[in-house]
Structure 1
Amino acid sequence: MFKIFWLICGMLSLIIGIIGIVLPLLPTTPFVLLAAASFAKSSTAFHDYLINSKYFGTIIKDWQENRTIPLRAKIAAVLMMSISIIVSIIYLIK
């Protein structure tokens, strides 16, 4: 029963994380890390797939080994938030 719960949480978190790639205000990294933690409790196959993923593998490995988020991910997050704020201000002024 709990494995199904964690599997559903992992899937939802991963979907939200993937959506966060294209939506500037929705963070990707925390949702991918939550998906990895959920898959670790529910399905080793999904967890291994996520860790070996070309796009998310390094983020998860860095977090599991060092408890750090890569500098590239931090810069991308700050950049996307800044762009979102600037675009919002521009539309607010018009």
Structure 2
Amino acid sequence: MNALEHMPEIGRVVQVLRGKEEGSYAVIVGLVDEKFVLIADGDKRRFDQPKKKNVLHLAMQPVVSHEVTDSMRETGRVTNAKLRFAIQRAAQGKGD
């Protein structure tokens, strides 16, 4: 495993290690700075109201959803359904 594989980036699936959503999965939808990212899961935490999380409180998964990445690049947003789909695929152990 190289260090780049676990870099915070838009579209990366993460597992929450701290807080109320501990143990749940989400997708990075924004980068605040080197310490914080914005995450959403498309369900309890929608794209319109992402949660700001410290990257130290997240376990970076080896899955990056290209659907989410492409959608963010093209339109600046992503549907909640795409977020849920990305998390579901990651949970099944499938990449994009």
Q: Which has the higher contact order (CA 8 A, sep 6+)?
A: 2
Name the TM-score class by shorter chain: under 0.3
Larger radius of gyration: 1
TM-score normalised by length of structure 1: 0.24
Q: Which has the higher strand share?
A: 2
Kindly indicate which of the two structures has a greater share of residues assigned to helix. Answer: 1
TM-score by length of 2: 0.24
